[in-house]
Amino acid sequence: MPSMTLTVEEIRQESTLVRALRLTAPGGAALPAFGPGAHLRVTIPALTEPRCYSLVQLDADAGAFAQPDAYWLGVRREDAGGGGSRFMHTLQVGQTLTVDGPRNDFPLHEAPAGDPPVLLIAGGIGITPIASMAAALTAAGRRYALHLCGRSRDQLAFLPALQTLAGDALHVHADDDADTAFDLAAVLDAAKPEQHLYVCGPKGMIDAVVAGARERGWPEAHVHFELFVTAAAQAGDTAFELELRQSGRTLHIPADKTILEVMEAEGCDPLYDCKRGECGVCQANVLEGEPDHRDYYLSEVEKASGKVIQLCISRARSARLVLDL
């Protein structure tokens, strides 16, 4: 999709940390259609990389996806983040944004109305793509259960609209309320592996949901997730040497940099896309050394083999790693 310049037409404060932005095209021109799970890539001044924000649709009308007259984004302010959300929280009505998209890396599977109920799990701002899925499922007459989780009820964005949209299909969980706190094990135990499961939220939640589903025999093709967090240093990370065998180069990968970041800084031109270890575009073959897999793309068998690695997010457990690059 080519870039578009959109105008901030309306702003709503959805919670103490989340604001919703209604974006329109100049002159009210038609906007490209999108599907549930889609996002926009927003250009942020002073940042080299755009930021991705999911499109929020709370109207159970197929036309709202096929012929949108506006896009809604939900943005949670992250003061410790890279600056994108802080900028988005300074926007005022009338200002413009340059965006690319819509793009969908988290699509909702097609199925007839009689298919098993879809299981939707959202943590915090992860509700943005999940809400659109609930709207699309409602419009199609398909069954689902939506579990919305947060630290407290007053921090849950879009709650009144979700209650209207989903009705009894909505289950609200607040960490500070013992009666409603989210019990992941109980939710998964009550579900069946033939159901499709969608989860979006903090990395810890996604890791727990994916691991819990795998333990209960869910097929990989039925577990769907999206994480808008790129690689971050973890406690215990150490530097290592990286040999690129084909090019004859050896690079030093410090503890606070990824393989991809160092390769780009050194003038290499590696293929990549998501930078979150989800898509597999940056995969490389391992010739020597032990990878420290942190991606969501490889299966457990592939990770155990140690033969491939995702450059954008994974590291090395060994002091030296040799790749076929």
Instruction: Give the confidence band of 211 by pLDDT, cuts at 50, 70, 90.
Output: very high
- Classify burial at 105, counting beta carbons within 10 Å of its beta carbon; exposed 0-12, middle 13-18, buried 19 or more: middle
pLDDT at residue 235, rounded to an integer: 79
End-to-end CA distance of the chain: 31
pLDDT at residue 229, rounded to an integer: 64
pTM (2 decimals)?
A: 0.82
Instruction: Give the confidence band of 122 by pLDDT, cuts at 50, 70, 90.
Output: very high
Contact 294, 231 (CB under 8 A): yes
**What domains can be seen in the chain, in order of their start residue?**
4-103 (2.40.30.10), 118-226 (3.40.50.80), 240-323 (3.10.20.30)
Mean pLDDT for the chain overall: 92
pLDDT at residue 250, rounded to an integer: 95
pLDDT digits (tens, 9 = 90+) for 136-163: 999 999 999 999 999 999 889 999 999 9
pLDDT at 82 over 90: no
Cα(279)–Cα(122) distance, integer angstroms: 21
pLDDT at 231 over 70: no
pLDDT at 232 over 80: no
Q: Which residue has the higher pLDDT, 276 or 108?
A: 108
